[in-house]
Structure 1
Amino acid sequence: MKQEYKDAMLKRLARIEGQIRGIQKLIISSEDCEKTAQQMSAARKALDKASHEMLACMIEREIENKQPSDLSHSDMEKIKTLISKYS
């Protein structure tokens, strides 16, 4: 994984961790369920986005240094498997 992706992913995960800690505080303080659910939804969407970014990284690794015409059937099957498995 390239350092720039690693740094961005770690920042993203730290923000998500902060969101989760905030949700825990909402629950501890018996906040409104709708407010808590809203924050849970936001955290879930943020984690989905991070997951999609990681999937893009995996696909990029599979095709780096290849021209589109150089992608084999096996390469395409590997990419389809990654998408199916992780999205």
Structure 2
Amino acid sequence: MATLTDDKTRQALLNRLRRAEGQLRGLQRMIEEGQSCLDIAGQLAAVRKALDSTHAKLTVAYMEQELGGRMPATDRSRQQFSEVLSDVQTLLGKLR
């Protein structure tokens, strides 16, 4: 399987993961401090959503990289391809 070649996309994904990592550390702190289960569950849901969103972005970036390089370079086909990828990202975001 290919690796991401776009540095900007790779950095954006890393930034998202670092934010999720911070949220996880916050969750650990919440549990250590004995905060309410309802508050912890809310934070867990936020971390899950952040990771799901990162996964969707990774999937779309991969599709764009791998399929985009195999498509004709006309403006119309590129625009249609971008629209489809946008729809795919929206669909992936609704999986949970």
Query: TM-score, length-normalised on structure 2?
Result: 0.67
Report deviation, 1:58: 1.5
Q: Which residue of 1 aligns with 2:23?
A: 19
Q: Which residue of 2 aligns with 1:39?
A: 43
Distance in 2 of aligned mates of 1:62 and 1:5: 14
Distance in 2 of aligned mates of 1:54 and 1:61: 10
- Residue 62 of structure 1 aligns with an amino acid whose one-letter code is E
Report deviation, 1:60: 1.0
| Structure in which a larger fraction of residues adopt helix | 1
Deviations, residues 25-65 of structure 1 (Å, cap 9, x unaligned): 00011100000000000000000000000000121122123
Candidates 51, 55, 70, aligned match of 1:51:
55
Moved beyond 3 Å, runs of 4+ = none
- The percentage of counterpart residues that share the same residue type is 33
- Residue 18 of structure 1 aligns with an amino acid whose one-letter code is G
Distance in 2 of aligned mates of 1:63 and 1:6: 18
